[in-house]
């Protein structure tokens, strides 16, 4: 149990002091190894606010949370002795827009910025930068380039490398594939899946792409109007009747499967979560 | 947000229904009048009138006081400066000041003590006065133990009255401008400014452009604040601790905040310019407006009163009877 939220509510303050309830009584437990979670929900449902709590960038207005053994509560007085920086090293959060974090002269320096802030030596940070840039699918020649002359997708990859180089235990990504072309998106998702499987790390991805959710996620969280309305298996989620109320799309694979079943009366039973499995099943049924 | 200066507060009352042009012109006239007043009685009279005006216009005095609070430091600073360095008129008070190790140590101790305990008291101003009185006692009485240097603290009549005058003037000016900004929406204020500045056209200054620049800047203050906040969160995720750190780290922290800020602002302005041009905005072309300013009888009366106050202050200034 690495991250535990207990009745966490968060209110954004507005000028007229009414406030806006972005999180409403959220209870969730996330393990620090072996999870691959997707977080979905409409825009404005509180997804980003929730993940910003997970590395203690925001602290709850009500309720309490326990992040890797550090208890964080709703009052500033009780949080006085909390060391926030170690939490942020262990729980790496990649923001949606890379423009918010790129600032150095070269990509290499920018990737090294995070590790160096956490006390990693210059040479070690350099080594990590090289590794991280390769992990996100860019070659070494990018290290000497300016981060501002890159394309949108490349900037995104560099910003992800900047967090990967911190070697966090839990990796959280806020819409990592938005603004990428389909091929780049698939490649990057594969990278996150590799990080998850080879290092047995927990990865949490915010996404609007139901295909990603259905294909990769072991667990899915659904947010609606600040509340966590679903926490569990993605297969079960899409077989529920009320997903229309949550404004969620049905993944392409399920639509295709349903069409094959109803239009061609093929028996497509069994768990089919990606193209490969669908093709395999088709071959079995048709032969 | 604690800052009250320059912030619009929704409400009702005659100030709200006035034309922004009226308010701007009246503010300028009344400011000039304030600078012309040179007797204490008149200054207090002016303050009384302003308080009456505020009560009639249903503007809380507390709100204006909150607007003055951030300027308290400036007010006290000018006051002390005037008292200490204006050496004209009769001497009211003259004391020897002793600089000794004891007095310096005690003074530093007292200021540090005041700095750390001031947040526990509700009467901050009173506490500050006590602190200043303590400093005075330390330098003139208690510190007289083998001093290595002495000086004189002298307060002159002219210095005291000038100090009080400047302080009252500043209070009046800030109060008047606060009334303007509290009761006028930034967009209205900008529109009013555009009209008031129109005479500058004879110097070939395009007032519409200036007004557009002001309104765009005002519009983007909250957006940029929001952006800065997001950048801070993103950098905090990479281990930047904006609260702590040595001087060397501080520089790096600020750079990590400023560079993305600049990049985003340039990008934004570029996009805004394109969006404006896509909707046929042409600099310098005549534009029509959705909200037209309308001059009412109230405005004429207000301008009349402001002119009256200005002429009265001129007459009283040059007349030989007072």
Query: Using an 8 Å Cβ cutoff, are A201 and A195 in contact?
Result: yes
The answer to whether position A61 is within a domain reads no
Which residues 226-255 on chain A approach chain B with CB closer than 8 angstroms? none
The parent domain of residue A255 ranges over 251-287
Residues B61 and B54: beta-carbon distance below 8 Å: yes
pLDDT for position B72: 78
Average pLDDT of the residues in B248-272: 89
* Residue A256 lies inside a defined structural domain of this protein: yes
A99/B237 Cβ within 8 A: no
A165-179 burial by CB neighbour count: b if 16+ within 10 A, else e? Answer: bbbbebbbbbbbbeb
Top-confidence range, A146-150, A283-287, B144-148: A146-150
| In a domain? residue A133 | no
Q: Identify the band that residue A40 occupies on the pLDDT scale cut at 50, 70 and 90.
A: very high
Smallest Cβ distance to B238: which of A15, A99, A117? A117
Domain for residue A281, yes or no?
yes
Write out the two tokens for A9.
Answer: 């509510």
Rounded distance, CA B112 to CA B117, Å? 9
Interhelix angle for B72-85 vs B157-183, to 10°? 160
Please give the Cα distance from A69 to A65 (Å, whole number).
10
pLDDT tens by residue, B8-30: 778 888 888 889 899 999 999 99
Predicted local distance difference test score (pLDDT) of residue B120: 74
Report pTM.
Answer: 0.72
Residue B1 pLDDT grade (very low, low, confident, very high; cuts 50, 70, 90): very low
pLDDT tens digits for range B121-139: 777 777 888 888 888 888 8
In this prediction, residue A16 has a pLDDT band, given cuts at 50, 70 and 90, of low
ipTM over 0.95: no
Task: Please tell me the total count of domains within chain A.
Answer: 1
- Dihedral sign, CA of A131, A135, A136, A140? positive
**Chain A residues lying within 8 Å of B231, measured CB to CB:** 100-101
Establish if A143 belongs to a structural domain: no
Within 8 A of A57 by CB-CB distance, chain B residues are 233, 236-237
CA distance A179 to A191: 17
Give percent of chain A with pLDDT exceeding 70.
Answer: 98
Q: Are A106 and A99 in contact (CB under 8 A)?
A: no
Q: What is the pLDDT of residues B86-114, one digit of tens each?
A: 777 777 777 778 788 888 888 888 888 88
Q: Does A12 touch chain B (CB under 8 A)?
A: no
Encoded tokens for A44:
């404005």
Residue A263, domain member (yes or no): yes
Distance from CA of A16 to the nearest CA of B (A): 10
A103·B255 Cβ contact <8 A: yes
pLDDT at site B140: 80
- Whether the Cβ atoms of residue A39 and residue A224 lie closer than 8 Å to each other: no
Nearest to A101 among B238, B241, B255 (CB): B238
Query: Is residue A183, in this structure, part of any structural domain at all?
Result: no
Pairing of strands A36-41, A70-72: unpaired
Cβ atoms < 10 Å from Cβ of B252: 17
pLDDT 10s digits, A114-125: 999 898 999 999
Is there a domain that residue A285 lies in? yes
Cβ separation B256–A103 shorter than 8 A: yes
Least confident of A182-186, A271-275, B29-33: A271-275
């Amino acid at each position: 149990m690495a991250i535990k939220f207990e009745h966490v509510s968060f209110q954004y303050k507005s000028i007229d002091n009414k406030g806006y309830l972005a999180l409403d009584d959220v209870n969730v437990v996330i393990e620090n190894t072996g999870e691959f979670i997707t977080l979905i929900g409409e825009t404005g449902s509180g997804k980003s606010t929730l993940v910003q709590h997970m590395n203690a960038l925001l602290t709850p207005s009500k309720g309490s949370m326990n992040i890797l053994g550090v208890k964080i509560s709703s009052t500033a007085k009780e949080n006085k002795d909390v060391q926030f920086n170690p939490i942020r090293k262990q729980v790496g959060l990649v923001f949606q827009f890379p423009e918010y974090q790129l600032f150095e002269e070269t990509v290499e320096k920018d990737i090294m910025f995070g590790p160096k802030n956490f006390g990693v030596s210059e040479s070690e940070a350099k080594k990590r930068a090289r590794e991280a840039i390769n992990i996100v699918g860019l070659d070494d020649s990018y290290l000497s380039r300016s981060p501002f002359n890159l394309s949108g997708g490349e900037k995104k990859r560099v910003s992800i490398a900047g967090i990967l180089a911190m070697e966090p235990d839990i990796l959280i990504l806020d819409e990592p594939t938005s603004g990428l072309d389909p091929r780049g998106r698939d490649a990057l998702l594969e990278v996150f899946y590799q990080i998850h499987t080879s290092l047995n790390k927990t990865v949490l991805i915010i996404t609007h792409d139901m295909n990603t959710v259905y294909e990769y996620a072991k667990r899915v969280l659904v947010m609606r109007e600040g509340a966590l309305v679903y926490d569990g298996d993605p297969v079960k989620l899409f077989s529920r009747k009320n997903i229309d109320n949550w404004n969620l799309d049905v993944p392409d694979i399920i639509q295709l499967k349903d069409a094959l079943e109803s239009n061609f009366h093929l028996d497509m039973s069994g768990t089919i979560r990606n193209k490969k499995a669908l093709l395999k099943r088709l071959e079995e049924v048709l032969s | 947000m604690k800052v009250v200066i320059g912030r619009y507060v929704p409400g009702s009352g005659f100030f709200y229904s006035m034309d922004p042009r009226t308010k701007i012109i009246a503010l300028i006239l009344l400011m000039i009048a304030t600078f012309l007043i040179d007797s204490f009685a008149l200054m207090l009279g002016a303050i009384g009138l302003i308080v009456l005006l505020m009560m009639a216009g249903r503007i809380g005095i507390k709100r204006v006081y909150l607007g003055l609070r951030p300027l308290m430091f400036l007010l006290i600073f000018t006051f002390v400066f005037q008292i200490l360095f204006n050496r004209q008129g009769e001497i009211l008070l003259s004391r020897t000041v002793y600089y000794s190790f004891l007095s310096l140590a005690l003074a530093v101790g007292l200021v540090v003590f005041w700095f750390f305990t001031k947040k526990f008291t509700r009467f901050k101003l009173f506490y500050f006065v006590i602190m200043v009185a303590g400093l005075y006692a330390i330098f003139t009485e208690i510190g007289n133990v083998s001093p290595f240097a002495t000086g004189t603290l002298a307060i002159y009549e002219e210095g005291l009255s000038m100090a009080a005058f400047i302080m009252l003037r500043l209070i009046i000016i800030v109060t008047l401008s606060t009334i303007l900004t509290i009761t006028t929406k930034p967009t209205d204020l900008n529109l009013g400014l555009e009209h008031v500045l129109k005479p500058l056209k004879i110097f070939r200054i395009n007032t519409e452009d200036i007004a557009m620049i002001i309104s765009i800047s005002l519009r983007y203050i909250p957006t940029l604040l929001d952006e800065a906040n997001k950048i801070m969160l993103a950098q905090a995720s990479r281990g930047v601790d904006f609260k702590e750190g040595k001087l060397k780290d501080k520089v790096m922290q600020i750079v990590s905040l400023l560079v993305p800020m600049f990049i985003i602002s340039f990008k934004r302005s570029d996009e805004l310019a394109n969006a404006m041009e896509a909707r046929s905005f042409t600099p310098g072309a005549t534009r029509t407006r959705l909200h037209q300013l309308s001059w009412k009888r109230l405005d004429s009366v207000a301008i009349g009163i402001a002119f009256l106050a200005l002429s009265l202050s001129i007459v009283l200034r040059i007349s030989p009877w007072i």
